[in-house]
C-alpha cells in the first residue's frame, strides 16, 4: 500500500507542467491562461460548484456539465485528470511524498482517533462536520498534517464554528450552515439544526474550531494523512438506518398529515390527494390584505415544483434536478444539491422536476436521467442514487415519488417515444427495487388482446404523475397516460389496456386489484394522469369509499375505490367527442372524431378539459375544485414506424385560436357531478392547480402569472397578485409561529405570501 501511494504521489508531480499545457490548449479561452477566469469562472479558489475532487473535475471536463455553458472536452486517456490535478495544485500548492499507511489510517479514522464521530468519508461516518471524501485532492500532505496536529490553524475555507446565546438564555455551539444579514443557521454536534433570527441572539462568539486536539504519534498522523489522500472505505450498510430524533417524519405522520396542517408533508398535501389545508387564519374577510413575504430564485428554467414544508424548512426541486432546503420564514437557502445530468432524451420528456417525497429524515427525488436519489433532509448529503431504468432508451422521471409504508413508488415518462410505462417500488432504506408493474398488458394477460399485432411493444402508457394511497384498504391508485402513438390508432386497434386508466395496486406486490379505463383507444392524447382523489362519504344513502377523478377527456367520474365500480359521470367543460357515458362509465363515442390526415375538429384539445394541475377537495363545503379549460382543436394524424427513443406521436393538434384556452376554475358537487360555480380566466393552465383551505379561501394560479384568492363557497374574487411570469405549479399553505403562509412556484421562482 505504501509503495502504491508513493508512486501515485510522484505521478502527480510529473503532471504539473503537462496539466498547465493541456489547460491552456483546451480551457483558456473561457477561463484564462492562468485559470483566473475570463468568460468562464475563476478556477483558482479551490471551490467548484459541480464537484471538487480531481475525479469529479475530470469527469466534468470530459463530459461537460448539462444546463450550463460548460461543453464536453472528450480528451484522450487521462488528460482530463491531469488538468484537474494541475487546477487543484493552484490552491493546495506543491505536494510532498506520502509517508503513511492508508489502511492503518482508515482504522484510526473510524476507530481510535474518533474522526468519524464528526466527519464522513464516502457516506460513511457522521454528518456534523464537513465530508472529507475529496479533501485529499484539495489539500497537500503538509496542510492535512497541520490541521490534524493543530486544529484551527489552517481551517478549511467556509467552515466557521460559533457559540451563541439567545435572548431566552439558550446556549448552543456548532458549525454555521449558512448566514445572512438577518439569519444564522447552526448545526450542533448532535446534528440538530438551529434556525435563528439574529434579532433573537443576545451574544455570539466566533470560535477558531470545534475540532478537539488528539494525541497521536507522528506515524499515526502520517497514516491518517495517507488515508485522507486516498480514502478507500467499504460501501455503507444502508440496511442500518437510525433517523435523526429531531427530524423523523414517520409513515404514521404521513398517514395523518391532516392533523398537522402547519406542515405540508406530501406532494398532494396528504396520501388521499385532497390538496387541502386545514389552516384557517386567512378568510374571505381578510384575504385582500395578503402581501408577498419573500421570493427564492432558481435562476431560470421550467419550475413546476410543489414544495414540502417540515419543521420550518421548505424543500424544493428545480428544473434540472437541483434542489434546496430553505428557511420557510425567509427563503434563505440552508443547503443546496446539484446533480450534473447527462444528455438525456429531451424529446421524450419535459425538463422539470415536480418535487420531493419525505420519510423519516430522508428526501426522495426522481430524476430526468431515470434515477431515484435519497438525500439527508438536514444536510442534502446523498444517501443512495439508484437507476430506475436506462435513460439512454428515452426513459425519464419528472414527478414526485410517493411513500407507502417502507416503500418509495415511482413511475416514468414513456408516452411519446415508442416506449412502455411501468410503476416501481423501492426499499426506502437501501434503494433496492422490490417490484415492477407494467401499465401495458403483458404477454399471458388476456388484456393483451386489446392491442393489435405487436403494437403493445411500443404501447406508451406513461405513469408520469404522482399517485395516491389509501391506508385503510392498503391500495395504491395511479393514473396512466396515452397509448402510443398518441394521435394514430391505426395498427393498435382495441381498447389498448391499461392506458388512460386508474390502476388500483397492492403495495406489497404491485399486483393489480382492479382498473378503470376512462378513454379506451385514445387518439387525442387524453392521459388519465389526473389526481385520484380519495374521499369517504355517504353516497345515495350508503357509506362508501370513493374515488373522485376529473379527467383530461372533459368528463368527471365517481368510482367505488374498493371495487372500481362506476357510480356516476358527467362532462364538466366543453366536449364534442362523446354523447355521454353508459351505465358502466364507457364513453359513447361520436362518429368521425378520430384524427385524420386532413384534420378533425374536436373539443377539448390535447391539453384536455383539465390536466395534471392539482384539484382540491374541501371537506367543509363538500366540493371538488378543479382548474378546468375550455378549448378545441383540429387533430391530424400520420402513420410512422416506431423507433424506441425517438418521437412517435402520429402528428398532433392545432388549437382553435378563436376559442383559445380559456381557464375555468370550477366547483363541482362530487356526489352529483353538478357544477356549483365557475370563475373564468382569460388563459387556462394545464399545470396550475387550486388549493382549498379551512378558512374558506380557495387559491388558484393562472397560466398568465396571477395568484388568486376566491371565496370557496361562491367563487367571488377576493384578491389577486401578479407574480410577473407564467405559473406551472399549484399553491400550498403552511404556518410558522401561528402565522399562515401561501407559497407557489412560477416560471423560475417561488413566492410566499402572508397577512401583515
pTM metric for this prediction: 0.92
What pLDDT does 43 receive? 85
What pLDDT does 65 receive? 79
Instruction: Please determine, for residue 747, whether its predicted confidence score (pLDDT) is greater than 60.
Output: yes
Nearest Cα residue to 522 out of 479, 573, 484: 484
Nearest Cα residue to 391 out of 349, 445, 429, 438: 349
Does residue 345 share a domain with residue 255? yes
Instruction: Please determine, for residue 463, whether its predicted confidence score (pLDDT) is greater than 70.
Output: yes
Does residue 707 share a domain with residue 603? yes
State the Cα–Cα distance between residues 297 and 185, nearest whole angstrom. 20
Strands in 616-618's sheet, in edge-to-edge order, are 616-618, 623-630, 662-668, 675-681
Nearest Cα residue to 431 out of 481, 476, 388, 482: 388
Q: Which helix (H) or strand (E) holds 224?
A: helix 218-229
- Whether residue 602 is contained in a domain is answered as yes
State the Cα–Cα distance between residues 368 and 236, nearest whole angstrom. 26
Does residue 351 share a domain with residue 280? yes
**Longest Cα separation, the chain:** 88
DSSP percent split of the chain into helix, strand, coil, nearest 5: 15, 30, 55
State the Cα–Cα distance between residues 201 and 104, nearest whole angstrom. 44
Distance between terminal CA atoms of the chain?
65
Return the percentage of the chain with pLDDT > 90, whole number: 72
What pLDDT does 6 receive? 38
Does residue 691 share a domain with residue 547? yes
CB atoms within 10 A of CB 232: 11
Instruction: Please determine, for residue 95, whether its predicted confidence score (pLDDT) is greater than 80.
Output: no
To the nearest 10°, report the CA torsion of 486, 491, 494, 495.
-20
Encode pLDDT of 296-313 as tens digits.
998 777 899 999 999 999
- Whether residue 696 is contained in a domain is answered as yes
Q: For residue 165, what is the domain's CATH number?
A: 2.30.30.100
DSSP-derived 3-state class of residue 25: helix
State the Cα–Cα distance between residues 398 and 372, nearest whole angstrom. 11
Does residue 478 share a domain with residue 409? yes
**522 belongs to the catalytic site:** no
Q: For residue 511, what is the domain's CATH number?
A: 2.140.10.10
Does residue 194 share a domain with residue 60? no
Q: For residue 46, what is the domain's CATH number?
A: 1.10.760.10
Nearest Cα residue to 191 out of 345, 377, 367, 464: 377
Encode pLDDT of 278-292 as tens digits.
999 999 999 999 999
CB atoms within 10 A of CB 33: 12
- Whether residue 73 is contained in a domain is answered as yes
Return the percentage of the chain with pLDDT > 70, whole number: 96
Contacts for 170 with CB less than 8 Å, ≥ 6 apart:
none
What pLDDT does 661 receive? 84
User: Are the C-beta atoms of residues 176 and 186 closer than 8 Å to each other?
Assistant: yes
DSSP-derived 3-state class of residue 159: coil
Strands in 126-208 per DSSP E:
161-166, 171-179, 183-187, 193-197, 201-207
Q: Which bin fits 465, alpha (ψ -120 to 50), beta or left (φ > 0)?
A: beta
Encode pLDDT of 25-64 as tens digits.
999 889 988 888 888 888 887 677 777 778 888 888 888 8
State the angle between helix axes of 218-229 and 102-110 in degrees (0 to 180), rounded to the nearest 10.
Answer: 100
DSSP-derived 3-state class of residue 84: helix
Residue 495's Cα: distance from chain center in Å?
33
- Sign (positive or negative) of CA dihedral 677, 681, 682, 687: negative
Residue 732's Cα: distance from chain center in Å?
16
Does residue 606 share a domain with residue 525? yes
Does residue 286 share a domain with residue 372? yes
Say how many residues make up the chain. 756
Query: pLDDT-derived band of residue 3, with 50, 70 and 90 as boundaries?
Result: very low
Contacts for 225 with CB less than 8 Å, ≥ 6 apart:
98, 99, 100, 105, 141, 144, 145, 148
Does residue 223 share a domain with residue 200? no
Q: 182, 197, 229: which is the final residue of a domain? A: 229
State the Cα–Cα distance between residues 466 and 454, nearest whole angstrom. 29
Does residue 549 share a domain with residue 610? yes
Helix intervals (H) in 27-149 = 28-31, 54-63, 79-92, 102-110, 135-138, 141-149
Does residue 177 share a domain with residue 114? no
- Whether residue 187 is contained in a domain is answered as yes
Contacts for 409 with CB less than 8 Å, ≥ 6 apart:
401, 402, 403, 423, 424, 425, 426, 467, 476, 478, 507
In the set 95, 525, 527, 630, the catalytic residue is 525
User: Are the C-beta atoms of residues 292 and 751 closer than 8 Å to each other?
Assistant: yes
What pLDDT does 499 receive? 98
State the Cα–Cα distance between residues 414 and 420, nearest whole angstrom. 6
Encode pLDDT of 503-550 as tens digits.
999 999 999 999 999 999 999 999 999 999 999 999 999 999 999 999
User: Are the C-beta atoms of residues 709 and 698 closer than 8 Å to each other?
Assistant: yes
What pLDDT does 273 receive? 98
Encode pLDDT of 344-360 as tens digits.
888 899 899 999 999 99
- How wide is the angle at C-alpha 650 spanned by C-alphas 647 and 653, nearest 5°? 105
Per DSSP bridges, beta strands 276-277 and 690-693 are: parallel
- Whether residue 145 is contained in a domain is answered as yes
Q: Which domain holds residue 591?
A: 251-754
State the Cα–Cα distance between residues 609 and 526, nearest whole angstrom. 9
Encode pLDDT of 251-265 as tens digits.
999 999 999 999 999
Question: What backbone torsions phi and psi does residue 481 show, to the nearest 5 degrees?
Answer: -100, -165
DSSP-derived 3-state class of residue 706: strand
DSSP-derived letter for residue 526 is: -
- Whether residue 342 is contained in a domain is answered as yes
Mean pLDDT value across the chain: 92
Does residue 482 share a domain with residue 337? yes
Question: What is the average pLDDT across 401-420?
Answer: 96
Query: pLDDT-derived band of residue 157, with 50, 70 and 90 as boundaries?
Result: low
Count of structural domains, the chain: 3
Amino acid at each position: 500500500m505504501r509503495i502504491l501511494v508513493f508512486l501515485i504521489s510522484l505521478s502527480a508531480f510529473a503532471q504539473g507542467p503537462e496539466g498547465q499545457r493541456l489547460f491552456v490548449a483546451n480551457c483558456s479561452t473561457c477561463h484564462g491562461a492562468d485559470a483566473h477566469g475570463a468568460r468562464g469562472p475563476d478556477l483558482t479558489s479551490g471551490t467548484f460548484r459541480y464537484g471538487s475532487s480531481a475525479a469529479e473535475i475530470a469527469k466534468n471536463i470530459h463530459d461537460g456539465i448539462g444546463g450550463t455553458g460548460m461543453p464536453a472536452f472528450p480528451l484522450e486517456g487521462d488528460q482530463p485528470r491531469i488538468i484537474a490535478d494541475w487546477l487543484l495544485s493552484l490552491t493546495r500548492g506543491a505536494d510532498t511524498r506520502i509517508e503513511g499507511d492508508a489502511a492503518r489510517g482508515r482504522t484510526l479514522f473510524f476507530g481510535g482517533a474518533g474522526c468519524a464521530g464528526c466527519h464522513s468519508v464516502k457516506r460513511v461516518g457522521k454528518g456534523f462536520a464537513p465530508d472529507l471524501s475529496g479533501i485529499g485532492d484539495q489539500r497537500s500532505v503538509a496542510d492535512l498534517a497541520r490541521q490534524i496536529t493543530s486544529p484551527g490553524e489552517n481551517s478549511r475555507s467556509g467552515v466557521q464554528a460559533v457559540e451563541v446565546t439567545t435572548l431566552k438564555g439558550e446556549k448552543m455551539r456548532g458549525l454555521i450552515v449558512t448566514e445572512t444579514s438577518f439569519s444564522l443557521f447552526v448545526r450542533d454536534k448532535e446534528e440538530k439544526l438551529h434556525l435563528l433570527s439574529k434579532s433573537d441572539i443576545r451574544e455570539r462568539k466566533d470560535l477558531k474550531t470545534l475540532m478537539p486536539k488528539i494525541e497521536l504519534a507522528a506515524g499515526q498522523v502520517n497514516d491518517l494523512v495517507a488515508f485522507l489522500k486516498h480514502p478507500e472505505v467499504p460501501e455503507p450498510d444502508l440496511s442500518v438506518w437510525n433517523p435523526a430524533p429531531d427530524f423523523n417524519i414517520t409513515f404514521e405522520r404521513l398517514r395523518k398529515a391532516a392533523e398537522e396542517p402547519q406542515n405540508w408533508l406530501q406532494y398532494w398535501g396528504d396520501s388521499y390527494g385532497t390538496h387541502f389545508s386545514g389552516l384557517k387564519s386567512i378568510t374571505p374577510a381578510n384575504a385582500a390584505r395578503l402581501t408577498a413575504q419573500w421570493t427564492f430564485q432558481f435562476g431560470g428554467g421550467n419550475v413546476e415544483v410543489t414544495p414540502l414544508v417540515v419543521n420550518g424548512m421548505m424543500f424544493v426541486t428545480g428544473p434540472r434536478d437541483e434542489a434546496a432546503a430553505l428557511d420557510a420564514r425567509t427563503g434563505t437557502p440552508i443547503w443546496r444539491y446539484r446533480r450534473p445530468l447527462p444528455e438525456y432524451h429531451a424529446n421524450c420528456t419535459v425538463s422539470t422536476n415536480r418535487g420531493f417525497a419525505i420519510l423519516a429524515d430522508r428526501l426522495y427525488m426522481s430524476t430526468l436521467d431515470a434515477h431515484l436519489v435519497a438525500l439527508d433532509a438536514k444536510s442534502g448529503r446523498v444517501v443512495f442514487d439508484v437507476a430506475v431504468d436506462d435513460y439512454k432508451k428515452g426513459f425519464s422521471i419528472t414527478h414526485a415519488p410517493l411513500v407507502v409504508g417502507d416503500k418509495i413508488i415511482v413511475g416514468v415518462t414513456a408516452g411519446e417515444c415508442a416506449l412502455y410505462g411501468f410503476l416501481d417500488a423501492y426499499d426506502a432504506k437501501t434503494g433496492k427495487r422490490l417490484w415492477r408493474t407494467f401499465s401495458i398488458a403483458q404477454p399471458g394477460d388476456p388484456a393483451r388482446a386489446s392491442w393489435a399485432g405487436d403494437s403493445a411493444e411500443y404501447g406508451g402508457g406513461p405513469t408520469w404523475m404522482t399517485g395516491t394511497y389509501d391506508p385503510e384498504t392498503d391500495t395504491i391508485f395511479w393514473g396512466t397516460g396515452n397509448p402510443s402513438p398518441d394521435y394514430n390508432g391505426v395498427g393498435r386497434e382495441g381498447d389498448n389496456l391499461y392506458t388512460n386508466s386508474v390502476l388500483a395496486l397492492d403495495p406489497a406486490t404491485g399486483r393489480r386489484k382492479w382498473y378503470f379505463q376512462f378513454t379506451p383507444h385514445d387518439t387525442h392524447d387524453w392521459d388519465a394522469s389526473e389526481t385520484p382523489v380519495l374521499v369517504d362519504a355517504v353516497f345515495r344513502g350508503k357509506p362508501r369509499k370513493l374515488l373522485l377523478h376529473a379527467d383530461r377527456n372533459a368528463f368527471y367520474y365517481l368510482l367505488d375505490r374498493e371495487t372500481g365500480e362506476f357510480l356516476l359521470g358527467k362532462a364538466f367543460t366543453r366536449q364534442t367527442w362523446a354523447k355521454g357515458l353508459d351505465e358502466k362509465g364507457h364513453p359513447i363515442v361520436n362518429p368521425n372524431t378520430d384524427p385524420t390526415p386532413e384534420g378533425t375538429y374536436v373539443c377539448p384539445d390535447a391539453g384536455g378539459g383539465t390536466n395534471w394541475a392539482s384539484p382540491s377537495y374541501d371537506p367543509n363545503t363538500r366540493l371538488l375544485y378543479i382548474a378546468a379549460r375550455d378549448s378545441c382543436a383540429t387533430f391530424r394524424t400520420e402513420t410512422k414506424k416506431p423507433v424506441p427513443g425517438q418521437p412517435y406521436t402520429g402528428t398532433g393538434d392545432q388549437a382553435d385560436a378563436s376559442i383559445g384556452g380559456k381557464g375555468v376554475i370550477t366547483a363541482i358537487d362530487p356526489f352529483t357531478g353538478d357544477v356549483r360555480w365557475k370563475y373564468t380566466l382569460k388563459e387556462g393552465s394545464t399545470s396550475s392547480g387550486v388549493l382549498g383551505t379551512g378558512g374558506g379561501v380557495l387559491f388558484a394560479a393562472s397560466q398568465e402569472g396571477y395568484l388568486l384568492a376566491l371565496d370557496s363557497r361562491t367563487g367571488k374574487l377576493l384578491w389577486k397578485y401578479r407574480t410577473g411570469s407564467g405559473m406551472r405549479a399549484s399553491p400550498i399553505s403552511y404556518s410558522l409561529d401561528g402565522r399562515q403562509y401561501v407559497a407557489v412556484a412560477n416560471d423560475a421562482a417561488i413566492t410566499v405570501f402572508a397577512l401583515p
